[in-house]
Amino acid sequence: MIVFNGTNVSMAVVWLIAMAVFLIVEGIVPGLVSIWFALGALAALIAAMVGAPLWLQLVWFVLVSIAALALTRPLARKYVNGRVTPTNADRILGRECVVRETIDNLRGTGAVAVDGKVWTARMLNENETAREGETVIARRIDGVKLIVEKV
């Protein structure tokens, strides 16, 4: 037990509160950020409940947190934090487009038609232009602009 403002407080309560705080943070923040520390707090809570000294509880907290982080972080980054919502817009990449408005990066003009839709377009090579009626190929999407290059 520790003494706080003249009151004895069990370390089990401290670890329980810490675990709750880590879980609340995990629930509020997008992505996985504190679940590992909640697991470490759980291990320290169990150590406190069986009467382990404070130094051992802290060791368990640190070791379990680090182990959980090391074992699960690569998977979390791959499957949870790095998720991208598909929009089907990328299906036009590599397709031929017809220039509807002359594409000139210096003037900030240009539009192409592809797959029945008109896109604002810019040239991949900044020094090139494409005239109305020419055919270009979609290479990437930058925000709401289609980046194209000549065939």
The domain made up of 89-150 has a fold known as OB fold (Dihydrolipoamide Acetyltransferase, E2P) (2.40.50)
Q: Which residue has the tokens 């991208």?
A: 84
pLDDT, one tens digit per residue, over 106-131 is 888 999 999 888 999 999 988 899 99
DSSP calls for 31-70: SSSSHHHHHHHHHHHHHHHTT--HHHHHHHHHHHHHHHHH
pLDDT, one tens digit per residue, over 9-44 is 688 999 999 999 999 998 898 777 888 999 999 999
pLDDT, one tens digit per residue, over 74-85 is 776 676 655 556
Helix (H, G, I), strand (E, B) or coil at 90: helix
pLDDT value of position 33: 81
Task: Return the higher-pLDDT residue of 86 and 61.
Answer: 61
Chain mean pLDDT for the chain = 86
Has this prediction a pTM greater than 0.95? no
Least confident of 50-54, 69-73, 116-120: 69-73
Domain boundaries, the chain: 2-81, 89-150
